[in-house]
Structure 1
Amino acid sequence: MALPQEACPYCGEAELIEILEVWPPRDFQLDTCCHGVHEAAVQFLSENPRAAAQWLRAKGLEGLTGRRVRRVIDDGSGQLVLDWRLTIAPVSFSTAKNFVAPHHRHCPAPAGWRFWTGIFNGDELIGCVMVGRPVARALDPARVVEVNRLCVRTDIAPELPWNACSQLYGWAAREARKRGFQRIITYTLESESGVSLKAAGWTIEHKVKGRSWDTPSRRLPNASPGLNKNRWTPES
């Protein structure tokens, strides 16, 4: 025998609050018995982002979508959306290159690289990393690789790419080891905090005085800015 449902404190009918629909990339809609319950649910979801994710899991969200949700967030317009667990997955050469052009803060896409990957929030590409030969000619490219470009989207709610940079740096270090390289390095401007690198277990190994790679003997019109930099490598 089915147990009777509790009465809704707002409308007096059997209380109803379920997931009605989920559609890409991160929108969802609730089905409720009345407006009062809907307003209460929205308030709960907006004030308790991680508890909201647990509640949505209990309601069967991940069974409906096949994805893991980590939070519910405000997308900046007052709309609550789903923040999915980040997933690292391969992307094509052209996809990675086209991603860097509009999203990297101060460098264009490199001319080539050895390996790369993307990171997704749900179905949406939100970041990528490209690892190639070291720019400094004194470093042996047979033993050392460099994270030449890493960027994430800044045109979306900042919670969505949260931790993406650290995950990409971690992936790059693991992939370099798998491929037999002895070291992997990357550079940041001295003015940058390197918080994502620190979170991924990288440390500063050298401070580099700024200069441009564009020289009379080797013209590089798209060279990085000649500012002081820090060179990082993963902790051993």
Structure 2
Amino acid sequence: MKIVESHKTDVDNYIITHHYLRSAPAGARLRLWVKDNSDNVIGAMMWGRPTARTYDYNRILELTRLYLIDDTEHCAESKALGMARKYIRKHLPEIRGLISYSSTGEGHKGTVYLADGWFAVGVTRAAAWNKQGRKNIDKSQKIRWVRSV
């Protein structure tokens, strides 16, 4: 398994097609393909500015989307996160921390984050509004995960 950076929006289109939210957040700073050893795409991830305005977006990246196909090797998501951290350390040395959220509404417990050494630091409130009339928005509580690079 390996990750490959993309400077095109093809990752966005892949995420829109496959991720349960059917959307890709605007303003991704880093787009990564996840590929198997035969160079076949098995997933993608997008990293961008933290959604919480109180975080320093010059030093923190948020994993805004992660999707891997179901038929992958054991712990593929956690391995991909580890590879992404290594890539970020090398290519974005100003980044010192990572943040992500797992959706309780989708039954995501954060297992992939725990396996990669992330820490749960809280739970968000469930949203009562629909941002700009979007249909595919997850308004459930989210578990907030953090990790150093």
Q: TM-score with structure 1 length normalisation? A: 0.54
Equivalence for 1:95: 10
Contact 1:167–1:200 (CA under 8 A) maintained in structure 2: yes
Task: Please give the secondary structure, in 2, of the residue aligned with 1:230.
Answer: strand
Q: Which digits, 9 at most, give the CA deviation of each residue in 1:175-232, with x for residues without a partner? A: 44442123110000123121111111112111111116745xxx36267311111010
Uncovered stretches (5+) of structure 2, i.e. residues with no partner: none
Contact 1:142–1:181 (CA under 8 A) maintained in structure 2: yes
- 1:49-88 mapped onto 2 (5 Å cutoff): 86-88=1-3
Equivalence for 1:117: 32
Choose which of 168, 172, 175 in structure 1 pairs with 2:80. Answer: 168
The one-letter code matched in structure 1 to 2:79 is Q
Uncovered stretches (5+) of structure 1, i.e. residues with no partner: 1-85
Equivalence for 1:145: 61
Distance 1:105 1:91 in 2: 21
The structure number with the bigger radius of gyration is 1
Task: Please give the secondary structure, in 2, of the residue aligned with 1:140.
Answer: coil
Displacement of 1:173: 2.9
The one-letter code matched in structure 1 to 2:110 is G
Q: Which digits, 9 at most, give the CA deviation of each residue in 1:121-144, with x for residues without a partner? A: 212101111110011122221222
The one-letter code matched in structure 1 to 2:54 is A
Task: Please give the secondary structure, in 2, of the residue aligned with 1:117.
Answer: strand
Equivalence for 1:231: 144
Choose which of 115, 119, 140 in structure 2 pairs with 1:203. Answer: 119
Contact 1:210–1:228 (CA under 8 A) maintained in structure 2: yes
Q: Which digits, 9 at most, give the CA deviation of each residue in 1:86-128, with x for residues without a partner? A: 1222334222112101211224111121112111121210111
Paired positions, count: 144
Q: TM-score with structure 2 length normalisation? A: 0.82
